[in-house]
Amino acid sequence: MLDILISAEKFRLSPVGLVRVRQSLRTWQPIDELKKGPFKLQARVLEYRVVEDGVEVDISLTAISRTDQPVWESVLTMLSQDRGRTPNTQPKPEWYDGHMDTSEPDDMKAVDINVPWTTGLKFVWAFSDYSPHCLLTLPAKLLGYRCTPTPSLWMLSKCLAEIEKHKGVDAIRAPISVTTQFKEPLLVPGKVTIKFCESAGVQSKCVRFQMEQYERKIPHITGQICRTTVEDVN
């Protein structure tokens, strides 16, 4: 659906080179609800805006069940970079208060995982995560080079999978809200550290997470996942 939208004639930006910078996601019902019958997918552009690094676009993606109830909704912010400028640091969301490694809370978990060179090839399915030179991954690997970037959805899914493994399925079960920021590109092959811990000072139960370069503490993705209530949904 995203591919169709950004490839449409009326879409104002070139799909080539679009990068994900932020994404928010809310789920109201289990994704399995979509398997019970016909469902609808909606994608639309919310806003274009000129920023220091180029032009950003907000895209809304929604899945609606056979009973016309929303199952999940996402707002994705993508950037078409001005090639003449150096990318600026993205603004931090209100809940972000610095790298998790600075506070080192007692309940923080840290998991090291390897990122195989085939990761990019397995996830080449969206223009936003696609670079033509990655098709040369094999010969580049043989020559000692690394391919970039690893798809942002792969990084997010790995973080959520580790949270589920250590916190239980309830930590990611609907209804939830997820907010993420995509930072430095992740080169493959390589190794990363996923960190996560309970958030402090919030009413709802939240878990902050971060994927960073192994032993370098440079973040590739930061985010937070929170349990929501019926009142939040309504």
Q: Are residues 97 and 128 in the same domain?
A: yes
What does the pLDDT look like over 161-209, one tens digit per residue?
A: 999 999 999 899 999 999 999 999 888 888 999 999 988 655 678 999 9
- CATH classification at residue 228: 3.10.129.10
pTM confidence score = 0.78
Side chain identity, residue 185: P
* DSSP characters over 182-195: E-SPPPBSEEEEEE
**Residue span of the structural domain in which 30 resides:** 1-83
Which among 58, 83, 108 is the end of a domain?
83
Whether residue 97 contacts residue 69, with contact meaning beta carbons closer than 8 Å, is answered with no
d(CA 73, CA 76): 10
